[in-house]
Amino acid sequence: KNEVEQSPQNLTAQEGEFITINCSYSVGISALHWLQQHPGGGIVSLFMLSSGKKKHGRLIATINIQEKHSSLHITASHPRDSAVYICAASNNDMRFGAGTRLTVKP
Amino acid sequence: SQTIHQWPATLVQPVGSPLSLECTVEGTSNPNLYWYRQAAGRGLQLLFYSVGIGQISSEVPQNLSASRPQDRQFILSSKKLLLSDSGFYLCAWSPSRLFYEQYFGPGTRLTVT
């Protein structure tokens, strides 16, 4: 079993839909990261959180430390949100989930 | 503002040839630096990290090595490439605490033939 598990693996949505991507981890963490990777390969760090909830525009990330679970939500999804979303757990190193490929159709 | 550069952007190298990928960071001092690899169809993997000049930590045994000759320069090398070294190599930096708040470079796509 991977130390960082993401679901779903692939997700297709219609423009405007509310999207949730889940991440569960089995290791101790100092922070949980959500990354966005576009088709060209470039990676952008969306959130780093160790407790509670963070919001940036239409993106919301939450974490439940007791349950070792984090979610990334996208409200009013748009085709430009299409990307691979990667969850990563950091402590003394970085452990990555396999990623969720999101496709938002117009 | 800070920027991170990687070059080359793409590289095709034969098996057995040497490798040198360079990463530089501008606009900050004493950053933590990282090398990651994303093999085809696989997730990201931390290869090396550095907290200062000449200080390199390796996460996985492999055919690669890293060096930090200057504060804002991080180099990934190999003496002899293997087919399994193909992948997308990303450099990243973080300003303070190790593995916090990382900023990623544009990446180098390496194909070993």
- The pLDDT tens digits for B52-76 are 999 999 887 678 999 999 999 999 9
Closest chain B C-alpha to A101 CA, distance in angstroms: 12
Closest chain A C-alpha to B96 CA, distance in angstroms: 14
Judged by a CB distance cut-off of 8 A, whether residue B107 touches chain A is yes
Sign of CA dihedral B107, A6, A22, A52: negative
Residues 25-54 of A with CB under 8 A from B: 30-31, 33, 35, 41-45, 48
Q: Using CA atoms in the order B110, B34, B72, A83, what is the torsion angle rounded to 10 degrees?
A: 60
CA-CA distance, B88 to B16, in Å (whole number)?
19
pLDDT in tens, chain A (106 residues): 689 999 999 999 999 999 999 999 998 899 999 999 998 889 999 999 999 999 999 999 999 999 999 999 999 999 999 999 999 999 888 999 999 999 999 9
Give the pair of three-digit tokens for residue A36.
């966005």
Task: Identify which of B34, B49, B109 has the shortest CB distance to residue A41.
Answer: B109
